[in-house]
C-alpha cells in the first residue's frame, strides 16, 4: 500500500480545536460570531475530509506523524478506508448538528451555551483523531479526550438527574479507559508495536493463547463500554438526560460510534480474522452481541420516554454492526461498516425529531405524541422513513447494510445470527410502529394544533437533509462520496491481508 505523507489529517483534527478556542474567546458577547465559528469549522473540516477521498480511493494511505512517544510508538495519524468512512460520517453530521444545535439552544434559551459549543467542537476534534489514529496509543489518547470533553455536555442541565447521569458516564468510561490502558501496555511490552494493520498484528509474536484471549476480553471491554455492549450499556440510557443535539451527535454518532469503531479496529486490525478463528473467541463475542441485539430491542419496547427508546435502539444497532464485523466474511464486514455510516444518518434524524418535538411542544414521552403528525408532518414524515429504514425497509439506507449483513451471514452459514438479525428487524417495527401510528392515526390530543405548525426551520432542515442522505444512500450507495466503495475496500484489505 502506497503511503503519502501529508499534513491534511492533522488539519482536520486541529480545525475544530482552533474553532473551540475561538468559540471560547468570543463567548456570550457576540453570539452570532460564536455560532459562525462552529459553522465555519464544520464546513472546513468536511471539505478537508472530502479532499482526501480521491487518494483513499486510489488505494493510498495518508500519514502524518507528530512525534515519537517511545521507540516503535509514534503519535501518528493515518487515513485508511475504514477511518475515512468514520471521518466522513462524523464530519457530515457535525454540519447538520451545528445548525440544529443553534436552533435547539436558542429555541430553549439554554444556559452556558459557550461551554456547550466549546465542548462540542473539542469532541469533534477528538472524533477525527479517533478516526485517523494510526495506532492504538493515538487512538487511546483521542478516546480519552473524547471522554473528558463529553462529560460537561452530559452534565449540561445541571440537575440532580444530570449529575447522576454524568457521574455514571465518567465511572463507566474512565474504568474502561484504565482497562484499555492496561491491555495496551501489555501488548506493547510483548510486541513492541501498536500499529493498526489490516488483518491484525498480534499473530506471530508467540504470545500465549490464554493471554491473547484475556487481552481480547480486556480490549473489547475497554471499547465495549462506549459501544454499549450489554452488560456495559447501562450509562447510555441515563446519559440521555443531556440536551437532544448532544444525545444525537454524541450518543448516536460520535461517542458510541467511537466505541464501535474501536471495537472493529480491535477485531479487524489488531487481532484479525485468522487469529480470532484460531482462538475461537469470535463465536463468544457473536453470542454476546446477539444477546444485546435481542434484549435491547425488547427493552426499547418498554420505554415510554422518546429519547430512551431511541437510546435502546442505538444499543441494538451498535451490536448489529459489531455482529457484522465478528462474523468475519467480506460481505458481513462490508455490511457492518456500511451500517456504521447508515445508522449514523438515520439515527441522527430520529434524535433530531425527538428534539424538535421537545422544543415545539415540550413533550418527552411516546404516549403524548397522539396526532402530532398532523401538526408536524415534515418532522414525522422524516421519522417514518428513517425508522422503517432502521428496520431494513427501503427506501432508507438501512436496507442496503442489512442486505449485506444477511449475505455475509449466509456466506458464513451462520443461520442463527441471520435469525437474530431478522428478529431484531421485526422488533424494530414493533417499537417504532406505535410512534408512527400515534403521530398520524391516533385521535389528536386537545393541545395539538390541527394546522401545520412546525419546529424552527433551523431544526427541520437538518432533519430533512439527514433523511435525504439516508434515502440517497439506499438508491445509490456510491452517490454520497463513494461510501460503498470505501467500505468495500476496507473489508477487502482486511481479508486480503489475511
Partner 1 sequence: MSTQYPALIVIVPLMSALICFVVGWWNRNFCYKIAVAAIAVSFYSSVVTMKDVMANGVIHYWVGSWEPPWGIEYVVDYLNGYMLIIITFISLLAVIASKKSVEKDFPEKAPAFYSIFLLLVTGLVGITITGDVFNVYVFLEIASIAAYALIAIGKRDHAPMASFNYVIYGTVGACFYLIGVGYLYMVTGSLNMADLAKLLPDLYNSKVVLVGFAFLLVGVCIKMALFPLHMWLPDAYSLAPDSVSSLIAPLMTKVSAYVMIRIMFTIFQPVFSFEMLPVGSICGWLAVIAIFVGGIRALAQKDLKNMLVYILVAEVGYIVIGISVGNRIGLTGAILHIMNDAAMMACLFLIVGAIAYKTGITDITQFRHMNQKMPFTMAAFTITALSMVGLPPACGFFSKWYLVLGAINANQWVLVVTLLISSLINAILFFRVIEYAYFYPHPEHGAEEHVHATSHGHAEIVMNEAPLSMLIPILIMATLILVLGPFSGKIISSIIQFAIPAGF
Q: Which residues bind partner 1 (CB under 8 A)?
A: 28, 66-70, 73, 75, 109-112, 140-141, 144-145, 147-148, 151-152, 155, 157-160, 163, 170, 174-175, 177-178, 181-182, 185-186, 188-189
3-class secondary structure per residue, 291-347: HHHHHHHHHHHHCCEHHHHHHHHHHHHHHHHHHHHHHCCHHHHHHHHHHHHHHHHHH
Report the nearest approach of partner 1 to the CB of residue 5 (Å): 19
Cell of 77: 495519524
Q: Cβ(278)–Cβ(318) under 8 Å? A: no
List for the chain the helix, strand, coil content (%; round to 5). Answer: 75, 5, 20
Which of these, 44, 45, 41, lies nearest to 22 by C-alpha position?
41
- Whichever of 180 and 248 has its CB closer to partner 1, that residue is 180
Grid cell in block for residue 353: 425529531
Nearer to partner 1, 157 or 472 (CB): 157
Can you tell me the distance from the alpha carbon of 303 to that of 240, in angstroms, rounded to the nearest whole number? 13
Q: How far is the CB of 167 from partner 1 (least distance, A)?
A: 8
Q: Between 182 and 287, whose beta carbon lies closer to partner 1?
A: 182
Minimum gap (Å) between residue 68 Cβ and partner 1: 5
Residues 6+ apart with CB under 8 A from 49: 12, 84, 87, 88, 91, 128
Length of the chain: 498
Q: Is 205 helix (H, G, I), strand (E, B) or coil?
A: coil
CB of 430 to partner 1, least distance (A): 36
> E strand or H helix at 5, and its extent?
strand 2-5
* Closer CB to partner 1, 2 or 189, in the complex: 189
The three grid cell numbers given for residue 140, joined into one nine-digit string: 487511546
Given the complex with partner 1, which of 1 and 67 has the nearer CB atom? 67
Residue 13: burial class (beta carbons within 10 Å; 0-12, 13-18, 19+): buried
Task: Rank residues 250 and 406 by Cβ distance to partner 1 and give the closer one.
Answer: 250
Q: How far is the CB of 209 from partner 1 (least distance, A)?
A: 19
Write out the three cell numbers for 158. 445541571
DSSP string over 64-89: EEEEEEETTEEEEEEE-HHHHHHHHH
Q: How far is the CB of 414 from partner 1 (least distance, A)?
A: 37
C-beta closer to partner 1: residue 182 or 291: 182
194 or 385: CB nearest partner 1: 194
Residue nearer to partner 1 on the CB measure, 171 or 457 = 171
Query: What's 271's DSSP letter?
Result: I
Query: What is the Cβ-side half-sphere exposure of residue 76, based on CA atoms within 13 angstroms?
Result: 22
Contact 50, 7 (CB under 8 A): no
Distance in Å, CB of 231 to partner 1, minimum: 20
Minimum distance of partner 1 from residue 48's CB (angstroms): 21
Closest distance to partner 1 from the beta carbon of 268 (Å): 24
Amino acid at each position: 500500500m502506497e503511503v503519502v505523507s501529508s499534513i491534511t489529517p492533522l488539519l482536520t483534527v486541529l480545525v475544530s480545536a482552533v474553532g473551540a478556542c475561538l468559540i471560547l474567546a468570543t463567548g456570550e458577547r457576540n453570539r452570532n460570531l460564536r455560532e459562525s465559528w462552529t459553522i465555519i469549522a464544520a464546513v472546513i473540516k468536511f471539505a478537508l475530509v472530502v479532499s482526501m477521498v480521491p487518494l483513499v480511493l486510489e488505494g493510498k494511505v495518508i500519514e502524518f506523524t507528530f512525534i515519537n512517544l517511545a521507540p516503535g510508538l509514534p503519535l501518528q495519524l493515518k487515513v485508511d478506508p475504514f477511518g475515512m468512512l468514520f471521518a466522513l460520517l462524523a464530519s457530515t453530521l457535525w454540519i447538520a448538528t451545528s445548525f440544529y444545535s443553534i436552533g435547539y439552544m436558542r429555541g430553549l434559551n439554554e444556559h452556558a451555551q459557550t461551554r456547550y459549543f466549546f465542548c462540542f467542537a473539542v469532541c469533534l476534534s477528538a472524533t477525527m483523531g479517533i478516526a485517523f489514529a494510526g495506532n492504538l496509543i493515538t487512538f487511546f489518547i483521542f478516546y480519552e479526550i473524547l471522554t473528558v470533553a463529553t462529560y460537561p455536555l452530559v452534565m449540561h442541565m445541571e440537575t440532580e438527574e444530570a449529575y447522576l447521569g454524568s457521574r455514571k458516564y465518567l465511572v463507566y468510561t474512565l474504568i474502561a479507559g484504565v482497562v484499555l490502558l492496561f491491555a495496551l501496555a501489555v501488548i506493547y511490552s510483548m510486541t513492541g508495536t501498536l500499529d493498526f494493520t489490516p488483518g491484525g498484528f498480534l499473530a506471530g509474536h508467540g504470545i500465549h493463547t490464554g493471554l491473547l484471549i484475556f487481552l481480547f476480553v480486556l480490549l473489547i471491554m475497554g471499547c465495549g463500554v462506549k459501544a454499549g455492549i450489554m452488560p456495559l450499556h447501562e450509562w447510555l440510557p441515563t446519559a440521555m438526560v443531556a440536551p437532544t443535539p448532544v444525545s444525537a451527535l454524541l450518543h448516536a454518532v460520535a461517542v458510541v460510534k467511537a466505541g464501535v469503531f474501536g471495537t472493529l479496529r480491535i477485531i479487524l486490525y489488531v487481532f484479525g480474522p485468522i487469529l480470532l478463528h484460531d482462538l475461537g473467541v469470535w463465536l463468544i463475542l457473536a453470542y454476546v452481541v446477539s444477546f444485546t441485539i435481542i434484549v435491547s430491542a425488547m427493552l426499547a419496547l418498554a420505554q415510554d420516554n422518546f429519547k430512551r427508546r431511541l437510546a435502546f435502539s442505538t444499543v441494538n444497532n451498535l451490536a448489529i454492526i459489531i455482529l457484522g464485523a465478528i462474523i468475519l466474511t467480506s460481505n458481513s464486514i462490508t455490511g457492518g461498516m456500511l451500517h456504521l455510516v447508515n445508522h449514523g444518518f438515520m439515527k441522527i434524524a430520529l434524535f433530531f425529531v425527538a428534539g424538535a418535538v421537545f422544543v415545539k411542544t415540550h413533550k418527552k414521552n411516546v404516549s403524548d405524541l397522539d396526532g402530532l403528525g398532523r401538526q408536524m408532518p415534515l418532522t414525522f414524515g422524516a421519522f417514518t422513513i428513517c425508522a422503517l429504514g432502521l428496520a431494513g425497509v427501503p427506501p432508507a439506507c438501512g436496507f442496503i447494510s442489512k442486505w449485506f449483513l444477511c449475505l455475509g451471514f449466509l456466506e458464513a452459514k451462520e443461520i442463527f445470527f441471520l435469525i437474530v438479525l431478522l428478529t431484531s428487524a421485526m422488533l424494530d417495527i414493533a417499537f417504532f410502529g406505535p410512534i408512527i401510528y400515534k403521530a398520524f392515526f391516533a385521535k389528536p390530543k386537545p393541545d395539538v394544533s390541527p394546522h401545520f405548525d412546525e419546529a424552527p426551520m433551523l431544526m427541520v432542515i437538518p432533519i430533512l437533509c439527514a433523511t435525504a442522505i439516508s434515502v440517497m444512500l439506499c438508491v445509490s450507495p456510491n452517490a454520497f462520496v463513494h461510501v460503498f466503495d470505501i467500505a468495500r475496500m476496507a473489508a477487502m484489505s482486511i481479508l486480503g491481508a489475511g
